[in-house]
Every structure is written in C-alpha cells, then in structure tokens.
Structure 1
C-alpha cells in the first residue's frame, strides 16, 4: 500500500503539527499501514519547543502536492558511451525494450540522445562509402561487429580515411577501384589480398573464416595495413560493417529537451504535448543523467492519498491539494470549500482543539495513549485554548488536557507557562517571521483578507513590536494581493487583544464588527483571545453585511 499523508494547514500551529503526528500514529496502529505525518509550512518556535520536549522529529515538509517528475515511475536505464557502436546500441535497446538512449560522458553528463528512428534513418538514407571514415570508427567496433579477430594492427586506432570497397572483381580490375587508406572486404583469394596491400589499403577484411598466410601478415604489417579476419561471408560483412559507426556520429545533439525531478508534471505535459519524441531524459541538479521517462508515465501517475487535520479549507491547504485523493478530514473549524471525489470520513466537532477530537478517537478504538503522544496532544490543547482561556474551550477540552497531562507527567500551569514563554522574545525576530507565524487567509465574495495572531505573556513585549508591525503591514499590503490585513497582538495573561489593521475600509469594518470606537490603525479588545471564535466570525459577518448594502 502506498503511504497516506496526514497534514495540517499552511503556517502550522502546535495543534496542526501535533494532531498530524498523533493521528498518523493512531491510523498506523489500527491498520499497520504507513501513515506519514506532514506539515505545509515551517515549524514555529512554540511547536519546536514542544517537539524537542518530547523528543519527536518535525513532520516531513511538503511544499506542494502537485506531482513532480520525482513521483513518476521513470526507467533507470544507464546511459551509453558515445563510442559504442550502433550495433551494440541497437541490441541494448532491444534487450531493455526502449526506443531512446541517453549518451553520456564518464560523469553522466548528457551529450546526446539516440533513438531507433535515428538508427533507421542512418541505414535508410543514401550513405556513401566514406561514412565509416567520417565517423572515425574504431577498429574495436569493427572487430566487434564483424565477430572477427584483428590479425594485424592496433585495435585502439580508428579508421579515419578512405572508403569501403568490396573486392568482388579479379586483381586487374581491383587496381582501378582500391585507393590509399580504403577498407577492402574480400575473401580467401591470395591475389586479391596482395593487391589490396600493394594499393596501400588501410584495412582488409578477410571473410569466410579463411586463414591468413604468414606472407600476407608480414606484408600487411610492413605496409601498415590492418587485417581483420571474420567468419562472415563477403555479403554479410558489407551488410553489417556500417553498424560499427559510433553512436556519436548519429545521435542528436541540438535541441535536447531535458527535465529535473522537481519539475511539475502538468508543466512537463504541456512542454512535451506537441513533441514527437516518446522518451525524455531526467537529469539531477548537477545535470547528471538519472533515467528516462515516457509520456505514458505522465498519464499513469497515481494521486497521493491525504488526510487533512485541523482545517478543511482549500485556501489553507498545501499547494496542489486538488491533485490528491482526500480520504479523511478531522477538524474543529467551520466547514468550507474543500472538495472530494467521493464520500469520505469527515469528523468535525465544535471543540477548542483538533487534538481533543483525536484524543477521543484513541479512546473509541481502545488504543492506549503513550506518554509521548499524550504530551503532544496536551500541548496542542493548551496552545489552541490558551490554557483554557479561549472562549472556544469546552469542558471536553479541559478534561482531555488534564487526562493527557497526567499520562505525560505534566503540571499544566507550569508547563503551559513555559511553553508560551518559549515563543516570546518577539523583539529578536523579524516582522515577516512574526506576521507569518500564525497566519490565515479568509475570503468573502471578491475580498480576501489575512488575519495573523501573535501571542505573548508580556504586554511590554507586544507593545515593543506594535509600531514596527504596522509599518511592515503597510508595505506588505502593497504586494500581497489582499484587500485588508489584520494582526492580533494577544496578551494571554491579561486576556485581551490589540487588533492592528491596514487596508482601505479596514477601520470601518472593525467598527462594524465590534461596535467600538477605533483608532486609525488599531483598537484594544478586552476579553478577545480567540481568532476562530472572536475575530473571524465578527469580521466576516461585517464583510457580508457591507456586501449587501
């Protein structure tokens, strides 16, 4: 079975990360199948503290579910050397049932491509008798193709001058056809062999398995004429000798289309849709050849199975979520726009934290909760409910956290304070990091807004970043494509939020949502600590109200 990915929303918080880890563990223990916890963003400081506290690695980071070529079942066919003969390349293609070969150097860098069509074109086109010399064909290739033996000469040398001549006539006539450096194909006639040597041929090929006399060997050596003896007939020699040509002489060098494992499959499909080639080389980041894939491989790609936790909104999901097969959703937020291809298991409960739901599922299936898992689930509940201060917190959340704390050996107040302080030291971080630390998009009609929340146990710390954050928000708004931006500076101890806002109409929207006199870019909201219940609902309701006016 292929693995199932369990993943939370973008800009993940502690609940999103811990719920993914704990639910993946529960599913694995119930089924024995692989369930992989993942994350769609970077781990924030608070979550990092939690993971380190319980000795758990951060989940796998998935930038996008959009399938890449690394997900394609490509063929790991080794590349070939450019000196390989067409004969060997043809056999290699047949053995591996492939129509395209990559020609590479010793470091696997691509030098060209060889296709069956290239080989067929070479044979079918009217090649003159000089083709072997033009290609600089090695004697090693010639011996291999002819299934012969080099009787005289150096096998490392190349045939680089002359034409191929078939010595079918008597010696008197041959004198008019054989030129210096030519390759002469002949039989066992001593006179013809002697004539070829006297005419300064470059190489003579003696067929029919005929023995080569000592005299011919000596004369050939003295005149620097190579001799290849072969069991083939003269006809067969003439037929196959051109197969000794090295692939570099035939391969395609220009206009090569190559791809890398990170290339998105949809982009690749568009790039090759109007091309006639069936196979394409895959190269790594250093340009080294990896393997070959076909257009059919792009069509046979299987969609990954995914379980969403702590969200059900397409805008909050990892990129490429439409390319996946969503099989489950476990969430405690409003139901939004994620679409599935068929019925799925969807569990949505009005609780303060997804981890509370997952804790209940452990109990429902009678699966014991280990201390490490208990610590993660408890941390998620304390984080999402702001240690039970959030209005989203329910008695079930509190009861679950207290039970989990006992299993994990935690003192709730002491541990929660330590956890919240771990994400403090706000002045040491950039405004961009703080703004995106806990950040979500929301859309009503044609307006898209973003709400970020920054929490602290120190009011002075929040006041210290206020003005810098407003300046950052003004700059970010210009390029973000958003209508408005909001940042909640939430004091956990005092249970209040100073809401910062920028964007045309933001001040009026906040006034409509909370019925309070607002400053130019901020308002203090006592008792407001929950984005989900106390911020999102009033703002989106006010946007809908404005949209109907």
Structure 2
C-alpha cells in the first residue's frame, strides 16, 4: 500500500484546499489499495477556515515541505523482544536473522535496544572483571537450559554469582566462605554439598549428571530456593545460565531517538557518523519503527497529486523530488515533463472543485454532505459566485446540484462567505500580497501576482502606497522583476491593480492609470483569465 499526498498550491486559497480534501476523499473510496492524504502548504484564510467549520471536518494537515523522511523508510515489521527475554534469544535473533539491532519493550513501552555490541560487551565484562554477579530470572532457566524444575523456589528473580561444586567437600567449604554473596550452585549428585546448599538456603541449585530425580537422596523439603535438573553437562549449564539473564540488563537506553518526520538526509548523516547500527523511530512519544544503515541505501520518493495547479514552482516545497502521479487543474498548462504517463484532468472551467465534483459523478460515487459543502464553497469562491468570466455552464450545473446535496442555498451562502472578508486596514500589507500569490516565468522575466477580495474598494485607495512598498519588498525577497496585487470588489465586479514599479511594463498596460503605480480595472475579476493575458502580452512586447 502506498501513501499518496494530494496538495494544492502555495499560498492556499479556498478552491485548492477544498478540492484537495475532496479529491483525496474520493480516491480513498475508489482506490482502497492506497492511502490518499490531503495536505496544504500554507496558512488558511478566514473564508477557508469557515468552510471547513461549516462542513464539520478537519482541514488538510500543514506540510511546510514534502521531502523524504525517516518515516518513509522506517521498518514497522521489526523483530522485538520483551525486556524479560533471555539474552540467548537476542543472540540467536541477531545471528540467525542477520539483523542490526532489536528494540526491547517492557510493560510501559519502549525500554531500549540491543545489538551485537551490547551482547559482546556483556560477554567481555564477564572475563575482564572479578567474579561477576548475574541477575537471574527463574522463568528464563528452562527457556535456555534443557531439563526441569524439581523444586520451584519462592524468588522469581535474584542476583547471584555462579559457583560449581565439582570439588571435594572441604575445598568447596573454603571456596564458599570466600564469596561475598550466596551463589547459584552448579553441581553433580554430591550429597554433602547439596545438603550444605539446602541448609544455607542458596538461591538456586542446578544439578547435572543426573537423569532422574529418583537418583537423589537429598531432602529438599525445607529449601526455599529452586532446584533444577539440567539435561546437559556442567560446563554447558554454566554457559547457558549466563545467557539466561534477562535482556533488559544489557539494553542500551542512551541510543539517540529520531522522529518519523525528520529529514532522510539529516538522519542518514547522523547515523553514518555514529557508532550505531540503527536507530529507533518515534511519532512524538510513541514508538513507530526502526531504521538501520541498510535502509538508507536508496532514497525514497513521495507520490504527489497536484490540485488547482500544474507547475512545480507553485507546489509544496520538495515537489521537484516527488513522483507526480496526477494533475487536477483548470489553469493554463506549464507542467514539467514526467518520466512516465500520468493522469491529467485539466478543463477550462471556473473552479477545480467543479472538476472534482465531476470525478465523483464519473466514478458513480455518492457525495456526502460535508464534501458537498466544501465543493460548493470552492466553486462560489473561485467563480465569485458565478460572476467571474471564467465561469462555465459546467460550474453552474455543479453548484446547483451541490446546493441540493449540502442543503445550503448558494446565494445566501455566498453572501455569508464574502461578508467574512477582513478589512484591508486590519491586515499587514505584505501578508495581503502573499495571501493568494502566484509566480510566472515568461519571456525571461519572473512575475508575481497576488489577489485579494474585498467588499468595497474605498479602503484600497487609502492603502495603495502601503501596498506599493509591500510589493517592492516581495520583489526583493523573491527576486522577481515585476510584482502586482489585484484588489477585487467581488460584489461590484471591479478591481484595482497595484504595481511594484516595473516602469517599462507599466507604461504598456491598457488599463487607466489612477496614479503612478496603480490602475483602474472595471469588470475585471479573474487574475487567470483577464489580468494574466494582458501581463503576458506586455512582457512579450517589451522583450521583442
């Protein structure tokens, strides 16, 4: 199953956001073998927030960039161990499964990791220090040591060194006195030594060289520890006892953790420059999976559907590295070449929401009320309630049916929607410019055009100088030759164009000048269909 992201353009407006959400919903219905996630790559305006609130559904998640992350390569089918598992289990898994490390879990969740490094260090410590003391678990002994209990002690866990009883009784007594802590005793059927062990209440006795407990004539009735009849010799019993120790005693709890949304490249550098064979991956505080060095051999590529745009530079940062699998759009086409054929639905209609609505009908899928509200919102917004010159009969028909499905009268809803427009004086001029901003590269010039909708143009005339300065700042920041802001009165179908001061182009515009850097545009509503063709005509003329 693949994860496929569905995204609108930068500086998301109503149409691209609701269309992305609705199209992802549709794709999840008709293609259950994949998961489609709607995303946005910028802040939402108040109108769009209100539409999602009215539809009673969450807006798409914010993605500042769409780059390969650790989550894309993390293994979720990892092999793990409980913290009380014997070290032998870890050693066998590391060797037989050829894995780099194993996550270990206790009752509270993730405890740490164990790799061949921790196992090796454990074995080396046994040989390089004095007599080691081990943390034993009675439950683990039969897991690693063939045989059976003939007495089950009261202590489930205990710390003890290991001592063998393969010696005369007097020497055994001398050796026992030297120990600071009672040992677990590995011994054959030596009656005196066994009786001493019982009388001194050693924590456990491992008896070797005896096939049947009936051979023993030692009374264990008063013994509080465990007595285990080993099915192997003393040397092997001691070796396996050491490996019965619970794995939590050697886990690495200081290993760095990485988040699933961290950059693939950043974590690759971190891991390759460290001593670790792999790293645990978390989703906030919840364990998500693991990554090993082998997972970084091939860089993952994300699948992406472009909605309401088709040019990579208008898309979410990182889209250039993504695999574009579909395009749903109603703008002029300037898409880059793809490596394989892809599905493209591009129509000269007034809204991408109309195209998404038509895809529901093409696939005979019902449109639930919350999706109908969102698509209705997109069409009303992008066609300025069917007043924009981009409006087609297809938009009209779609809006009519969506109104029936949503139960919202479109005219009433449009009035409500446009009444939510904030006064320009309440907003930062630069934020207004960038709120719905698109860039174009034509005739060796880089141009940016923002658009903002208002309820009246009177306040716009008072702020033209502020917008002019904001446009110049945006030109510098984005290294653009010419930047403009189209301020549109959606009810009176009238706009004002403010320019950054690109004099050679401004002189050739057909519009009436209001002052040095602003123009009057009666009956102009559409940036795409009305303003952009004039801008391109001017650029072509000054380039020749």
TM range (shorter): 0.7 to 0.9
Deviates more, 1:234-243 or 1:44-53: 44-53
Q: Distance in 2 between matches of 1:325 and 1:492?
A: 37
**Inter-partner Cα distance in structure 2 for 1:402 and 1:372:** 16
- Is contact 1:43–1:58 with CA below 8 Å preserved after alignment? no
Matched residues, number: 530
Q: How does 1:70-469 map to 2 (within 5 A)?
A: 70-71=71-72, 72-75=74-77, 80-81=82-83, 85-87=86-88, 89-90=90-91, 99-103=100-104, 107-108=108-109, 110=111, 112-120=112-120, 122-123=122-123, 127=127, 130=130, 132-133=132-133, 136-138=134-136, 140=138, 148=149, 156-159=157-160, 164-171=162-169, 174=172, 179-181=178-180, 183=183, 184-193=185-194, 205-209=206-210, 211=216, 213-214=218-219, 228-232=227-231, 233-247=233-247, 250-252=250-252, 256-273=255-272, 278-286=277-285, 289-295=287-293, 305-322=303-320, 324-358=322-356, 377=375, 379-394=377-392, 397=395, 415-431=413-429, 434-444=432-442, 448-463=446-461, 466=464, 469=467
Deviation string 1:301-340 (CA, Å, 9 cap, x unpaired) is: 9856543332101122223334544333232212113443
Change (3 A) 1:16 1:198: closer
Q: Secondary structure at the match of 1:127?
A: helix
SS at match of 1:132: coil
What's the CA shift for 1:541? 5.2
Counterpart-to-counterpart distance in 1, 2:526 and 2:202: 94
Partner of 2:529: 533
CA deviations on 1:1-20 (whole Å, 9 max, x unpaired) are: 65655443233323223433
Write the mapping of 1:499-510 to structure 2, written as runs, cut at 5 A: 499-502=497-500, 506-510=502-506
- Change in CA separation of 1:176 and 1:376 when aligned onto 2, cut-off 3 Å: closer
Q: How far does the alpha carbon of each residue in 1:419-460 deviate from its partner, in whole angstroms, 9 at most, with x for none?
A: 322324444445565344322233358764432211112123
Where do 5+ consecutive residues of structure 2 fail to align?
A: none
Contact 1:74–1:294 (CA<8 Å) still a contact in 2? Answer: no
SS at 1:281's partner residue?
Answer: strand
How big is each residue's C-alpha offset from its partner over 1:136-191, in whole Å with a ceiling of 9 and x where there is no partner? Answer: 524647855556567788554422xx6x4434333455566553347453211234
Q: How far apart, in 2, do the equivalents of 1:185 and 1:31 lie?
A: 63
- Pair 1:234–1:353, CA change in 2 (3 A): closer
How far the C-alpha of 1:236 sits from its partner, in A, is 2.6
| Structure 1 spans left out of the alignment, 5+ residues | none
Superposed displacement of residue 105, structure 1: 6.2
Match of 1:19 in 2: 19
Aligned mates of 2:480, 2:17 — CA distance in 1: 27
CA distance in 2, matches of 1:5, 1:484: 32
CA contact (8 A) 1:167 1:192 kept: yes
- Normalised by the size of structure 2, how large is the TM-score? 0.76
Q: When the two structures are superposed, what TM-score results if normalisation uses the length of structure 1?
A: 0.76
For residues 167 and 359 of structure 1, do their structure 2 counterparts lie closer, same or farther at Cα, with a shift above 3 Å needed?
A: closer
Whether the aligned pair in 1 keeps the contact of 2:230 and 2:237 (CA below 8 Å) is no
Cα drift, residue 290 of structure 1: 4.1
Pick closer, same or farther for the CA change 1:542–1:243 going to 2, 3 Å. Answer: same
Check whether the contact 2:85–2:246 (CA below 8 A) recurs between aligned residues.
Answer: yes
Q: Assess, with a 3 A threshold, how the Cα gap between structure 1 residues 340 and 271 changes in structure 2: closer, same or farther.
A: farther
Distance 2:529 2:200 in 1: 100
Bigger shift: residues 238-247 or 25-34: 25-34
Offset from partner CA, 1:437-486 (integer Å, 9 cap, x none)? 32223335876443221111212343465555556556666655555543
- In the TM superposition, residue 341 of structure 1 has moved relative to its aligned partner by 2.7
Alpha-carbon distance change, 262 to 360 in structure 1, aligned in 2, over 3 angstroms = closer
Give the match's secondary structure for 2:242.
Answer: helix
Q: CA deviation at 1:259?
A: 1.4
Going from structure 1 to structure 2, the CA distance change for 1:529 and 1:445 (only over 3 Å counts) comes to: same
The question of 1:511 aligning with 2:507 is answered yes
SS in 2 for 1:237: helix
Q: Supply the distance in 2 between the matched residues of 1:229 and 1:371 (Cα, whole angstroms).
A: 69
